[in-house]
Amino acid sequence: MTTPLRLITIPVSHFCEKARWALDLAGIPFAEEAHVPILHRIHVKRAGGCSSTPLLISPDGPLTESSDIVRWCNRPRGERPALAAESDDAWAWVARLDREFGPDVRRTAYDALLPHSALAREFLGRTTPAWENRLLRLAFPLLRVAMRKGLAINPPRVARSEARIEQLLSEVDALLADGRTTLLGGPFSVADLTFAALGAPLVFPAEYGGPMPAIARLPDAFRARVLERRGRPSGQLILRHYRDHRRRSFP
Ligand SMILES: N[C@@H](CCC(=O)N[C@@H](CS)C(=O)NCC(=O)O)C(=O)O
Protein backbone atom coordinates (compact mmCIF):
# COMPACT_ATOMS: atom_id res chain seq x y z
CA MET A 1 0.00 0.00 0.00
CA THR A 2 1.32 3.49 -0.83
CA THR A 3 1.95 5.69 2.19
CA PRO A 4 -0.25 8.79 1.91
CA LEU A 5 1.57 12.08 1.46
CA ARG A 6 1.30 14.63 4.27
CA LEU A 7 -0.57 17.86 3.55
CA ILE A 8 -0.32 20.52 6.27
CA THR A 9 -3.31 22.85 6.24
CA ILE A 10 -5.48 25.40 7.91
CA PRO A 11 -8.50 23.31 6.93
CA VAL A 12 -10.97 26.11 6.14
CA SER A 13 -8.42 27.88 3.90
CA HIS A 14 -9.33 28.13 0.23
CA PHE A 15 -5.63 27.96 -0.78
CA CYS A 16 -5.52 24.61 1.06
CA GLU A 17 -8.72 23.59 -0.72
CA LYS A 18 -6.98 24.28 -4.04
CA ALA A 19 -4.22 21.82 -3.04
CA ARG A 20 -6.68 19.19 -1.75
CA TRP A 21 -8.67 19.46 -4.98
CA ALA A 22 -5.55 18.90 -7.11
CA LEU A 23 -4.56 15.87 -5.01
CA ASP A 24 -8.08 14.44 -5.16
CA LEU A 25 -8.37 15.04 -8.89
CA ALA A 26 -5.12 13.19 -9.48
CA GLY A 27 -6.19 10.38 -7.13
CA ILE A 28 -3.08 10.86 -4.99
CA PRO A 29 -3.65 9.57 -1.43
CA PHE A 30 -2.81 12.12 1.24
CA ALA A 31 -3.24 12.59 4.96
CA GLU A 32 -4.32 16.09 5.90
CA GLU A 33 -2.71 17.52 9.04
CA ALA A 34 -5.06 20.33 9.98
CA HIS A 35 -4.04 23.17 12.29
CA VAL A 36 -5.45 26.27 13.90
CA PRO A 37 -4.12 29.52 12.35
CA ILE A 38 -0.91 30.83 14.01
CA LEU A 39 -0.29 27.39 15.59
CA HIS A 40 0.09 26.06 12.02
CA ARG A 41 3.43 27.87 11.82
CA ILE A 42 5.15 25.43 14.19
CA HIS A 43 4.24 22.55 11.86
CA VAL A 44 4.96 24.41 8.64
CA LYS A 45 8.45 25.41 9.83
CA ARG A 46 9.17 21.90 11.07
CA ALA A 47 8.22 20.54 7.64
CA GLY A 48 10.57 22.90 5.80
CA GLY A 49 8.16 25.70 4.93
CA CYS A 50 8.22 29.35 5.81
CA SER A 51 4.84 30.33 7.18
CA SER A 52 1.90 29.65 4.91
CA THR A 53 -0.26 26.62 4.22
CA PRO A 54 -0.83 24.45 2.22
CA LEU A 55 2.44 22.56 2.49
CA LEU A 56 2.74 19.20 0.77
CA ILE A 57 5.57 16.91 1.76
CA SER A 58 6.11 15.31 -1.62
CA PRO A 59 8.69 12.70 -2.61
CA ASP A 60 10.43 15.58 -4.44
CA GLY A 61 10.65 17.67 -1.24
CA PRO A 62 8.30 20.14 0.48
CA LEU A 63 6.00 22.12 -1.83
CA THR A 64 5.04 25.37 -0.15
CA GLU A 65 2.90 27.14 -2.76
CA SER A 66 -0.58 25.94 -3.72
CA SER A 67 0.20 26.42 -7.42
CA ASP A 68 3.35 24.29 -7.16
CA ILE A 69 1.19 21.58 -5.58
CA VAL A 70 -1.33 21.86 -8.43
CA ARG A 71 1.49 21.65 -11.00
CA TRP A 72 3.04 18.65 -9.24
CA CYS A 73 -0.26 16.76 -8.89
CA ASN A 74 -1.41 17.55 -12.38
CA ARG A 75 1.64 16.36 -14.27
CA PRO A 76 1.08 13.22 -16.35
CA ARG A 77 1.91 10.01 -14.46
CA GLY A 78 2.51 6.77 -16.32
CA GLU A 79 -0.44 6.22 -18.63
CA ARG A 80 -2.51 8.95 -17.09
CA PRO A 81 -2.56 12.37 -18.76
CA ALA A 82 -2.78 15.70 -16.91
CA LEU A 83 -6.26 15.99 -15.42
CA ALA A 84 -6.76 19.72 -15.72
CA ALA A 85 -5.72 21.48 -18.93
CA GLU A 86 -2.63 23.68 -18.76
CA SER A 87 -1.47 26.51 -21.02
CA ASP A 88 0.37 29.81 -20.62
CA ASP A 89 -3.00 31.58 -20.51
CA ALA A 90 -4.32 29.22 -17.84
CA TRP A 91 -1.22 29.70 -15.66
CA ALA A 92 -1.44 33.47 -16.14
CA TRP A 93 -4.99 33.31 -14.74
CA VAL A 94 -3.75 31.19 -11.83
CA ALA A 95 -1.01 33.71 -10.99
CA ARG A 96 -3.48 36.59 -11.15
CA LEU A 97 -6.05 34.81 -8.97
CA ASP A 98 -3.41 33.80 -6.41
CA ARG A 99 -2.09 37.34 -6.16
CA GLU A 100 -5.27 39.31 -5.51
CA PHE A 101 -8.49 37.34 -5.74
CA GLY A 102 -7.48 34.73 -3.12
CA PRO A 103 -6.40 37.25 -0.47
CA ASP A 104 -9.38 39.54 -1.28
CA VAL A 105 -11.92 36.72 -0.89
CA ARG A 106 -10.31 35.58 2.36
CA ARG A 107 -10.30 39.11 3.80
CA THR A 108 -14.00 39.71 3.08
CA ALA A 109 -15.08 36.27 4.33
CA TYR A 110 -13.15 36.55 7.59
CA ASP A 111 -14.39 40.11 8.03
CA ALA A 112 -17.96 38.79 7.93
CA LEU A 113 -17.40 35.65 10.00
CA LEU A 114 -14.78 36.40 12.67
CA PRO A 115 -17.14 38.62 14.74
CA HIS A 116 -19.29 35.50 15.27
CA SER A 117 -17.09 33.77 17.84
CA ALA A 118 -18.93 30.46 18.20
CA LEU A 119 -19.27 29.97 14.45
CA ALA A 120 -15.66 30.97 13.80
CA ARG A 121 -14.27 28.73 16.55
CA GLU A 122 -16.23 25.86 15.03
CA PHE A 123 -14.88 26.18 11.49
CA LEU A 124 -11.33 27.06 12.57
CA GLY A 125 -11.20 24.17 15.02
CA ARG A 126 -12.79 21.31 13.11
CA THR A 127 -10.43 18.37 12.44
CA THR A 128 -7.57 20.12 14.27
CA PRO A 129 -5.79 18.46 17.27
CA ALA A 130 -7.58 18.53 20.63
CA TRP A 131 -4.95 20.67 22.40
CA GLU A 132 -5.13 23.26 19.60
CA ASN A 133 -8.92 23.34 19.96
CA ARG A 134 -8.65 23.91 23.68
CA LEU A 135 -6.28 26.80 23.08
CA LEU A 136 -8.57 28.12 20.33
CA ARG A 137 -11.49 28.16 22.78
CA LEU A 138 -9.46 29.96 25.44
CA ALA A 139 -7.53 32.38 23.28
CA PHE A 140 -9.94 33.10 20.40
CA PRO A 141 -10.20 36.86 21.08
CA LEU A 142 -6.40 37.15 20.87
CA LEU A 143 -6.22 34.96 17.78
CA ARG A 144 -8.88 37.12 16.13
CA VAL A 145 -6.88 40.28 16.79
CA ALA A 146 -3.77 38.62 15.34
CA MET A 147 -5.67 37.41 12.26
CA ARG A 148 -7.21 40.85 11.67
CA LYS A 149 -3.79 42.45 11.91
CA GLY A 150 -1.95 39.80 9.87
CA LEU A 151 -4.53 39.74 7.06
CA ALA A 152 -5.21 43.50 7.09
CA ILE A 153 -8.88 43.01 7.87
CA ASN A 154 -9.94 46.63 8.39
CA PRO A 155 -12.70 48.74 6.80
CA PRO A 156 -10.67 50.43 4.00
CA ARG A 157 -8.91 47.20 2.96
CA VAL A 158 -12.16 45.21 3.11
CA ALA A 159 -13.88 47.83 0.93
CA ARG A 160 -11.02 47.71 -1.58
CA SER A 161 -11.14 43.90 -1.64
CA GLU A 162 -14.92 43.94 -2.17
CA ALA A 163 -14.53 46.32 -5.10
CA ARG A 164 -11.82 44.16 -6.71
CA ILE A 165 -13.88 40.98 -6.23
CA GLU A 166 -16.86 42.67 -7.87
CA GLN A 167 -14.66 43.76 -10.77
CA LEU A 168 -13.30 40.25 -11.31
CA LEU A 169 -16.72 38.61 -11.06
CA SER A 170 -18.10 41.09 -13.59
CA GLU A 171 -15.20 40.28 -15.91
CA VAL A 172 -15.94 36.56 -15.60
CA ASP A 173 -19.70 37.17 -16.08
CA ALA A 174 -18.84 39.00 -19.32
CA LEU A 175 -16.55 36.19 -20.53
CA LEU A 176 -19.30 33.63 -19.93
CA ALA A 177 -21.78 35.63 -22.00
CA ASP A 178 -20.54 33.84 -25.15
CA GLY A 179 -21.83 30.55 -23.75
CA ARG A 180 -18.49 29.07 -22.66
CA THR A 181 -18.52 26.76 -19.65
CA THR A 182 -14.92 27.33 -18.53
CA LEU A 183 -12.77 30.43 -18.00
CA LEU A 184 -10.78 29.95 -21.19
CA GLY A 185 -13.53 28.34 -23.23
CA GLY A 186 -11.78 24.96 -23.55
CA PRO A 187 -11.64 21.97 -21.20
CA PHE A 188 -11.58 22.35 -17.41
CA SER A 189 -8.17 23.83 -16.65
CA VAL A 190 -5.90 24.76 -13.77
CA ALA A 191 -7.41 28.26 -14.05
CA ASP A 192 -10.91 26.84 -13.45
CA LEU A 193 -9.71 24.79 -10.48
CA THR A 194 -8.06 27.88 -8.99
CA PHE A 195 -11.00 30.20 -9.67
CA ALA A 196 -13.45 27.72 -8.14
CA ALA A 197 -11.33 26.90 -5.07
CA LEU A 198 -10.40 30.52 -4.30
CA GLY A 199 -13.93 31.72 -5.09
CA ALA A 200 -15.63 29.06 -2.97
CA PRO A 201 -16.08 31.34 0.09
CA LEU A 202 -18.17 33.63 -2.15
CA VAL A 203 -20.79 30.96 -2.92
CA PHE A 204 -20.31 28.13 -0.36
CA PRO A 205 -20.44 25.04 -2.62
CA ALA A 206 -21.78 21.92 -0.87
CA GLU A 207 -18.80 19.88 -2.12
CA TYR A 208 -16.14 22.10 -0.50
CA GLY A 209 -13.43 19.83 0.90
CA GLY A 210 -12.98 21.71 4.20
CA PRO A 211 -15.08 22.83 7.16
CA MET A 212 -17.30 25.63 5.86
CA PRO A 213 -20.37 26.77 7.83
CA ALA A 214 -23.77 25.92 6.33
CA ILE A 215 -25.30 28.81 4.37
CA ALA A 216 -28.29 28.89 6.75
CA ARG A 217 -25.93 29.73 9.64
CA LEU A 218 -24.21 32.68 7.96
CA PRO A 219 -24.83 36.19 9.32
CA ASP A 220 -27.77 37.79 7.47
CA ALA A 221 -26.00 40.41 5.34
CA PHE A 222 -23.23 38.02 4.33
CA ARG A 223 -25.75 35.26 3.52
CA ALA A 224 -27.67 37.66 1.28
CA ARG A 225 -24.46 38.45 -0.62
CA VAL A 226 -23.62 34.75 -0.95
CA LEU A 227 -27.10 33.99 -2.31
CA GLU A 228 -26.85 36.87 -4.77
CA ARG A 229 -23.47 35.60 -5.99
CA ARG A 230 -24.73 32.03 -6.31
CA GLY A 231 -27.23 33.37 -8.85
CA ARG A 232 -24.84 35.21 -11.19
CA PRO A 233 -22.93 33.50 -14.03
CA SER A 234 -19.51 33.62 -12.30
CA GLY A 235 -20.97 32.15 -9.11
CA GLN A 236 -22.79 29.49 -11.11
CA LEU A 237 -19.49 28.59 -12.79
CA ILE A 238 -17.88 27.96 -9.39
CA LEU A 239 -20.84 25.83 -8.25
CA ARG A 240 -20.84 23.87 -11.53
CA HIS A 241 -17.09 23.18 -11.39
CA TYR A 242 -17.57 21.88 -7.85
CA ARG A 243 -20.43 19.61 -8.93
CA ASP A 244 -18.63 18.32 -12.02
CA HIS A 245 -14.98 18.13 -10.95
CA ARG A 246 -14.65 18.03 -7.15
CA ARG A 247 -14.47 14.38 -6.30
CA ARG A 248 -14.46 14.28 -2.53
CA SER A 249 -16.66 15.79 0.12
CA PHE A 250 -15.62 16.73 3.61
CA PRO A 251 -16.37 13.71 5.87
N1 LIG B 1 0.78 31.97 -2.11
C2 LIG B 1 0.39 31.02 -1.12
C3 LIG B 1 -0.68 31.64 -0.24
C4 LIG B 1 -1.21 30.71 0.80
C5 LIG B 1 -1.87 31.42 1.96
O6 LIG B 1 -2.09 32.64 1.95
N7 LIG B 1 -2.17 30.61 2.98
C8 LIG B 1 -2.80 31.11 4.17
C9 LIG B 1 -4.06 30.33 4.46
S10 LIG B 1 -5.36 30.85 3.37
C11 LIG B 1 -1.91 30.94 5.36
O12 LIG B 1 -1.40 29.87 5.62
N13 LIG B 1 -1.75 32.02 6.12
C14 LIG B 1 -1.05 32.00 7.35
C15 LIG B 1 0.35 32.53 7.28
O16 LIG B 1 0.84 32.84 6.18
O17 LIG B 1 0.96 32.58 8.35
C18 LIG B 1 -0.13 29.75 -1.79
O19 LIG B 1 -0.69 29.86 -2.89
O20 LIG B 1 0.06 28.65 -1.24
Q: List, for residues 36-67, the tens digit of each pLDDT value.
A: 999 999 999 999 999 999 999 999 999 999 99
pTM of the model: 0.95
User: What pLDDT is recorded for position 223?
Assistant: 98
Class of domain 5-74: alpha beta
Give residue ranges with CB within 6 A of ligand 1: 10, 13, 15, 41, 51-54, 65-67, 98, 106
| Dist. CA 179 → ligand 1 center (Å) | 34
pLDDT of 241 above 70: yes
124-128 average pLDDT score: 94
Residue 22 has pLDDT above 50, yes or no: yes
Ligand 1 pocket mutation pick from 13, 52, 101, 194 by most atoms within 8 angstroms of CB = 52
| Ligand 1 mean position, distance from CA 34 (Å) | 14
Q: By the 8 A CB rule, do 10 and 16 touch?
A: yes
